[in-house]
Amino acid sequence: MSVAQLGIVGSGIMGSGVAECASLNGFGVVLRSRSQSTADSTLAGIEKSLAKAMEKGRLAESERDDALGRITATSDLSELAECDLVIESVVEDIEVKKHLFHELDRVCKDHTILATNTSTLPVVELAMETGRPEKVCGIHFFNPAPVMSLVEVVRPITASDETVVSAREFAERCGKTAVEVKDRAGFVVNALLFPYLNNAVRMLESGVASKEDIDCAMKGGCGFPLGPFALLDLVGLDTSLAILDALYGEFKDPNYAAVPLLRRMVAAEQLGRKSGQGFYDYRH
C-alpha cells in the first residue's frame, strides 16, 4: 500500500520534525496536537525552520510554500480518518500510547497503518490495543528528523510483510535509509547508544572530568558530532530517562540503570534544550 496522506499525533520535538520532513518530501500531513493553540504554534515553528533552510539556500521559496500548504494542524483526532499511515509521536509512556492506539483504531479507516515513533517501548503491546495488529509497526525517526538519515522500521511479531514493506517504502520516500529491526527495547541505535550516554553521566558524577571536557574528548577523540551531554540535552532528559527505564525493565543490564543525577535533573525539570536548561543553559 502506497502512502499519500500521513497523520502525526504529538507535536513535540519529533512530531514536528517528522511533519516537516514528510511535507518537504511531498506527503500531505495532518498534524494533531491536544490543543489547537499548540497545533498552531507547532506549525509556526515548522515555518520558522523552513525559513532558516531558505536563508541557508537549501530550499526555494516555492518549495517552502508547497511544504507548508501540505500541512494541516488540528486538535481533532477524527481529522486523521483519511490518512493512509498515522505515526504516533507522543510522550514515551506506554499507557498514554496504548490509549491513543485504541482511539486511532476507532477513528482510522481499515486500510490505515498505525505506527509508533517510540524509542524503546514494546510495539506489540500497542498493536494488541487495536483490531488490526497486522497493520501496526514502529517507524523510528532520529532527532532532528529533517536532518538525520536513518529510520528504524520495527517489526513486532504481529506485523504483516505488507505493513513492513509499506513502512520501509514511506521512510525511503522521505529520503531516509531504512533498517529493519525486531521489536526489542532500544532497537539497534538506542540499545547501543544509551549505555554510553548513561556512563557519561556516571563519569561526570564521579568527577573524572567536567561536562565540557567529556564532550570535547568524545568529539575530538571519536569524531562524534556532539558530545554526550550536548546530545542528552538535544534528546531531552525526560525522554532519555524513559528510554533507560524501558531498557533496564527489559534487559536488567546495570549499564541501563539510570544514574541518579539524570533522575534528579528530570525531577528538577531540567530537561535540556526544550526546557531551556539541562547539562547546559540555553536561556540566553
User: Can residue 13 be called a binding residue for ligand NAD (CB under 6 A)?
Assistant: yes
Q: Of 44-52, 111-119, 151-159, 251-259, which part binds ligand NAD (CB under 6 A)?
A: 111-119
Q: Which of residues 113-132 bind ligand NAD (CB under 6 A)?
A: 117-119
User: Can residue 270 be called a binding residue for ligand NAD (CB under 6 A)?
Assistant: no
User: Can residue 96 be called a binding residue for ligand NAD (CB under 6 A)?
Assistant: yes
279 in Cβ contact with 229 (< 8 Å): yes
Residue 63 annotated as catalytic: no
Which residue lies nearer to ligand NAD by CB, 15 or 133? 15
User: Can residue 89 be called a binding residue for ligand NAD (CB under 6 A)?
Assistant: yes
Residues in the chain: 284
Distance, CA of 76 to CA of 100 (rounded, Å): 13
User: Can residue 14 be called a binding residue for ligand NAD (CB under 6 A)?
Assistant: yes
Q: Among all residues, whose Cβ is closest to ligand NAD?
A: 12
The radius of gyration of the chain from alpha carbons, rounded to an integer in Å, stands at 19
Give the Cβ contact number of residue 90 at 10 Å. Answer: 22
Angle of the 211-222 helix axis to the 189-205 helix axis, nearest 10: 140
Distance, CA of 181 to CA of 183 (rounded, Å): 7
Residue 152 annotated as catalytic: yes
Residue 140 annotated as catalytic: yes
150: left (phi over 0), alpha (psi -120 to 50) or beta: beta
Q: To the nearest whole angstrom, how small is the minimum distance from the Cβ of residue 188 to ligand NAD? A: 13
142 in Cβ contact with 121 (< 8 Å): no
Q: Of 70-78, 84-92, 101-109, 178-186, which part binds ligand NAD (CB under 6 A)?
A: 84-92
Residue 198 annotated as catalytic: no
User: Can residue 158 be called a binding residue for ligand NAD (CB under 6 A)?
Assistant: no
How far, in Å, are 190, 202, 214, 263 from residue 205 at the CA level?
22, 5, 12, 12
Which residue lies nearer to ligand NAD by CB, 74 or 143? 143
Size of the site for ligand NAD (CB under 6 A): 23
Q: In the numeric block, which cell numbers belong to residue 59? A: 530550499
The catalytic residue among 33, 89, 117, 119 is: 119
User: Can residue 44 be called a binding residue for ligand NAD (CB under 6 A)?
Assistant: no
Q: Of 55-63, 87-95, 167-175, 192-200, which part binds ligand NAD (CB under 6 A)?
A: 87-95
- Burial classification of residue 57, based on how many CB atoms lie within 10 Å of its CB (0-12 exposed, 13-18 middle, 19 or more buried): exposed
The residues binding ligand NAD (CB under 6 A) are 10-15, 34, 89-92, 96, 117-119, 140-143, 235-236, 239, 274
Catalytic (active-site) positions: 119, 140, 152, 190
